[in-house]
Structure 1
């Protein structure tokens, strides 16, 4: 069976399975692929016949993959990534482009990653760089699915084999409005924050995870006021006096300089992590992406807000 599966498999069959998985129904998948429903059904039937296992099943929530289907879906992602790499290589060989680099960055890194990309683009003007911003969970998922060549984040996903290049220190502080009662204090004990309201990032954010780990370690349960999916909104809320925030130093550079926010001198802070440029160990990087990874490993630190 294995020989038949690999020999007779077609990309149309694989794309039919992928589309049904993403769309949740054969009708929606057919629309997405510009095919008729019977054509999509036929592709799935042929694929399941080759696998000699059910790959998809009908559930109350629509069509869902079986365990065998999930294995085939992982194969599809790798094949689609290989096809994109091949297309890019052909474009480079033909001189149509200098190639492409697909980058992702956690939202806290958006304060410096565009400056690094701009410097890279000046050095390699023919290479096209795309940048996707998301929270830690979103970037981790994109890295897992072969969508990204390189991700800029703190700690790598625990379930992936990766290659990492350190970019520099990443300190985290607690900040408050300039007129906050603790703003001018030379030392603030953790216990003094028990009555404060914290404005935090959403669940799935690396900053939120780091804050939770810090407070668990010191035995304090912070009072959460609002959760927001943007550092900019958190800063505005803190400046308005709605609460205080545990936040990356790299997101508050200008507000500290202008005196609109102050760092509270809390014992045990800052928490310092490392920024990394990360790639999947099993994803083959073409020359443009290798050039970007080398550039970030050598010069990435220059673009961190407190060193630029």
Structure 2
């Protein structure tokens, strides 16, 4: 047997993504390079690890067994590296964070300097919708989650980072009275673009409409904040979006904000963790860093949001 750690890592990515194409993106490799590494690993075994039926890749039972073994092997190798670094006096280990999709415009700024100082830390950050973020936290798969809507059934601790201001957006070509405040009745006519079920932004939008006794005209749903933003810019409809995701588009005049009664909606971005979880040394140090520096991070990177 001459398989390598790199081959195991590539194989794990293929299993997790169920796709060579998606694994290549995850690993920043070309598709042929991933295929070669997968073949080289497969050549070590007489039993198939994967199979392709139609155009879909499936992992065999043996492949799943190897995945779990490989996971343990790579965790032990990582532990050796972390232990070596700790003996050198370096903070080392793995930090796992699950981030609600619009939080991708937030979390990097709270990680940047911490990771710069502590280069022995490996970051695993999953960006997904609110439902999956809460699931990963509930299953104790991550150290922290970044959300704007608190989960109802989990016993958690939280650290508020910054306001999440949600505004009604339109393409640059939409004409309206920019000096006035529109009545909520405007939603009777505007075709709205919604995020998918499970999105925190969608939850807040629906609560707003319910409280205002509005039945909005939903034109269609999209599965990412970027897709919604592009659709609004293209003039396909209107949407309530986080101001944090719009910095460049507002600066370039590609999107405009419509002032409406009851808007903006303001939630908070919160770093949350399970109350009973025993945080690792890395997680505890990150939390201390956040508590000490969060105000400065906001002032340096997000103070511009106060102007809208």
Structure 1 position 185, deviation (Å): 4.8
CA contact (8 A) 1:113 1:303 kept: no
Match of 2:16 in 1: none
Instruction: Decide whether the 8 Å contact of 2:166 with 2:241 is kept in 1.
Output: yes
Query: How many aligned positions are there?
Result: 235
Per the TM alignment, residue 133 of structure 1 is displaced from its structure 2 partner at its CA by 0.5
Q: CA deviation at 1:182?
A: 2.5
Alignment of 1:1-308 (within 5 A): 29-34=61-66, 87=79, 90=83, 93-95=86-88, 98-182=92-176, 184-303=178-297, 306-307=302-303
The answer to whether the 8 Å contact 1:173/1:269 transfers is: yes
Three-state SS of the structure 1 residue aligned to 2:273 is: strand
Q: Distance between the aligned counterparts of 1:183 and 1:227, measured in 2?
A: 27
Render the CA deviation track for 1:90-133: whole Å, top value 9, x for unaligned. 56655597112111111101012112211211222222222111
Q: 1:99 to 1:230 in 2, by over 3 A?
A: same
* Mean CA deviation greater in 249-258 or 289-298: 289-298
1:208 aligns to what SS in structure 2? helix
Question: Per-residue displacement from partner, 1:153-182 (whole Å, max 9, x unpaired)?
Answer: 123321111110110111111011122132
Is the contact between residue 182 and residue 188 of structure 1 (CA under 8 Å) also seen in structure 2?
no
- Matches of 1:224 and 1:129, distance apart in 2: 38
RMSD: 2.6
SS at 1:127's partner residue? strand
Taking the aligned partners of 2:173 and 2:97, their CA distance within structure 1 comes to 40
Q: State the Cα distance separating 1:300 from its structure 2 match.
A: 3.2
> After the TM superposition, which segments of 4 or more aligned residues of structure 1 sit over 6 Å from their partners?
none
Q: Using the TM superposition, give the Cα deviation of residue 187 of structure 1 relative to its aligned residue in structure 2, in angstroms.
A: 1.2
Is the Cα contact below 8 Å between 2:91 and 2:118 reproduced in 1? no
SS at match of 2:286: helix
| Structure exhibiting the larger radius of gyration computed from Cα positions | 1
The answer to whether the 8 Å contact 1:164/1:278 transfers is yes
